[in-house]
């Protein structure tokens, strides 16, 4: 059997008629950038997250760049950030001249709150939290620290649409939440897209202005801005998907729970849920395994495609060579990068495939 790590086609086909209807509606409208679909999507996504404002932008990275810019920190200021993350989380603030202070992850692969205080210095002004793999980070503890040291908090929710603790969604704990709608994300569009959510009117207005050349009033420019707009087609298609998001998340969770309860192999360390099922939307199902090379070879022979998210932590990337970090500076993160693999998991994954993966894993 051939088991793909991820497939996007099944979830398109599931709601194909609704998507095609929306495409026709948008094309027939004669208006294609920053119009009614974007406005409605912003209202609906704000409502979904129970936040006051939402501003659509062109990508998740742009959401992070614009969110950090709207905090008006000074170049050289430091930002606490997880060492274990996708590199875009870091690029969002280093693009603003800010400097990462990396902190090692806890057993849930997220920023370890117990290690944050030691990394805070006089130049530390913000925390960039990432809800990695779909699991919300320990926001109650992180917010306590942020309040104690008067730090801004930006949440990178690119992998965690809808994850919550006691009903409070990711992206609403800190000052601003940043989302990606890249096709593979839990709320994925059919091209690039992103958004910020916030309760802070100034942040919302600033991002709204900066995404459109720094303009509030047509052809009058207050700042040197960007072109980072969400288009009408994406917004319309995202509105269709947003209506089904909780159903799609429940489906991912159901498959993930089968992995969690049915994979029984002492060699494979399964992920743990810190805040119950609702705290994890299983963007990825990541396991830890000592002899990864061997295991990947074995799975490959059995037709199971595994991926690694991510093989190289940001501090060891060529992009961040200028920060001067070396191997072993963040040993927990580096060990994870060397031993984790992501299992096949996607909306519309066939039950036989899921069960095949479980059997193959149990036989290893
Ligand atoms: C995907 C992703 C981003 C970037 O989103 P894009 O839309 O691809 O720019 C940022 N942070 C994390 C954690 C991501 O997974």
Give the pLDDT of residue 176.
98
- The CATH class that applies to domain 9-241 reads alpha beta
Q: How many whole angstroms from 362 Cα to the centroid of ligand 1?
A: 32
Mutation choice for ligand 1 from 58, 82, 86, 181, CB with most ligand atoms inside 8 A: 86
Domain boundaries, the chain: 9-241, 245-363
Which residues, 6 or more positions from 79, have their beta carbon under 8 angstroms from its beta carbon?
68, 73, 93, 98, 99, 100, 101, 124, 125, 126, 127, 128
Span 239-293, pLDDT tens digits: 999 999 999 999 999 999 999 999 999 999 999 999 999 999 999 999 999 999 9
Q: Would you identify the CATH topology of the domain 245-363?
A: 3.90.1150
Give the pLDDT of residue 171.
98
Model confidence at 216, pLDDT cuts 50, 70, 90, reads very high
Q: Are 127 and 80 in contact, with CB atoms under 8 Å apart?
A: yes
Q: Looking at the annotation, which residues are catalytic?
A: 185
Give the pLDDT of residue 345.
98
Whole-number Å distance between alpha carbons of 355 and 219: 58
Give the pLDDT of residue 170.
98
Give the pLDDT of residue 225.
97
Whole-number Å distance between alpha carbons of 280 and 159: 10
Q: How many whole angstroms from 181 Cα to the centroid of ligand 1?
A: 8
Q: Nearest 5 degrees, angle CA 76-CA 327-CA 113? A: 60
What does the DSSP 8-state code read for residue 85? Answer: S
CB atoms within 10 A of CB 344: 22
* Average confidence score pLDDT of the chain: 98
Tell me if 59 CB under 6 Å of ligand 1. Answer: yes
Give the pLDDT of residue 187.
98
pTM recorded for the entire structure: 0.98
Query: Of 113, 120, 240, which is closest to residue 189 (Cα–Cα)?
Result: 240
Tell me if 61 CB under 6 Å of ligand 1. Answer: yes
Q: For residue 130, which atom of ligand 1 is closest to its CA?
A: 13
Give the pLDDT of residue 103.
98
Give the pLDDT of residue 196.
98
Give the pLDDT of residue 164.
98
**Positions of E strands within the chain:** 53-57, 78-82, 99-103, 124-130, 152-156, 164-165, 168-169, 176-180, 194-198, 215-217, 220-221, 268-269, 286-289, 340-342
Q: For residue 59, which atom of ligand 1 is closest to its CA?
A: 7
Q: For residue 86, which atom of ligand 1 is closest to its CA?
A: 13
Span 326-342, pLDDT tens digits: 999 999 999 999 999 99
Which residue's C-alpha comes closest to atom 14 of ligand 1? 158
**Positions of E strands within 131-206:** 152-156, 164-165, 168-169, 176-180, 194-198
Q: How many whole angstroms from 103 Cα to the centroid of ligand 1?
A: 19
Model confidence at 25, pLDDT cuts 50, 70, 90, reads very high
Q: How many whole angstroms from 185 Cα to the centroid of ligand 1?
A: 8
Q: Nearest 5 degrees, angle CA 321-CA 68-CA 118? A: 60
Give the pLDDT of residue 52.
98
Encode 311-322: b = buried (16+ Cβ within 10 Å), e = exposed.
Answer: eebbbbeeebee
Token representation of residue 47:
């409502």
Give the pLDDT of residue 22.
98
Residue with tokens 């590199």: 87
Span 88-143, pLDDT tens digits: 999 999 999 999 999 999 999 999 999 999 999 999 999 999 999 999 999 999 99
């Amino acid at each position: 059997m051939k088991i793909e790590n991820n497939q996007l086609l099944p979830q398109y086909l599931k709601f194909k008629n609704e998507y095609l209807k929306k495409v026709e509606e948008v094309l027939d409208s004669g208006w294609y950038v920053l119009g009614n679909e974007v406005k409605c999507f912003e209202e609906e996504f704000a409502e979904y997250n129970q936040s006051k404002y939402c501003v659509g932008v062109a990508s998740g990275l742009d959401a992070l760049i614009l969110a950090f810019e709207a905090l008006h920190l000074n170049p050289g200021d430091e930002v606490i950030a997880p060492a274990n993350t996708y590199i875009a989380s870091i690029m969002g603030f280093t693009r603003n001249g800010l400097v990462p202070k990396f902190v090692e992850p806890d057993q849930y692969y997220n920023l370890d709150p117990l290690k944050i205080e030691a990394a805070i210095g006089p130049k530390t002004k913000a925390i960039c939290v990432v809800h990695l793999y779909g699991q919300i980070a320990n926001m109650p503890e992180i917010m306590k620290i942020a309040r104690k040291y008067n730090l801004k908090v930006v949440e990178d929710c690119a992998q965690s649409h809808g994850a919550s603790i006691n009903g409070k969604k990711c992206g609403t704990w800190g000052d601003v939440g940043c989302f990606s709608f890249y096709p593979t994300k839990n709320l994925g569009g059919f091209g690039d897209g992103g958004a910020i959510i916030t309760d802070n009117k100034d942040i919302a207005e600033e991002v709204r202005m900066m995404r459109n050349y720094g303009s509030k009033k047509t052809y009058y420019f207050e700042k040197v801005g960007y072109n980072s707009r969400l288009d009408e087609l994406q917004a319309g298609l995202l509105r269709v998907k947003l209506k089904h998001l909780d159903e799609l998340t429940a489906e991912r969770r159901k498959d993930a729970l089968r992995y969690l309860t049915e994979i029984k192999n002492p060699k494979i360390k399964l992920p743990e849920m810190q805040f119950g099922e609702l705290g994890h939307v299983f963007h990825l199902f990541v396991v830890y395994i000592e002899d990864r090379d061997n295991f990947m070879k074995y799975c490959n022979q059995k037709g199971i495609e595994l991926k690694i998210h991510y093989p190289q932590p940001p501090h060891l990337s060529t992009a961040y060579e200028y920060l001067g970090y070396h191997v072993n500076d963040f040993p927990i993160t580096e060990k994870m990068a060397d031993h984790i693999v992501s299992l096949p998991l996607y909306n519309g994954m066939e039950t036989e495939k899921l069960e095949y993966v479980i059997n193959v894993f149990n036989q290893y």
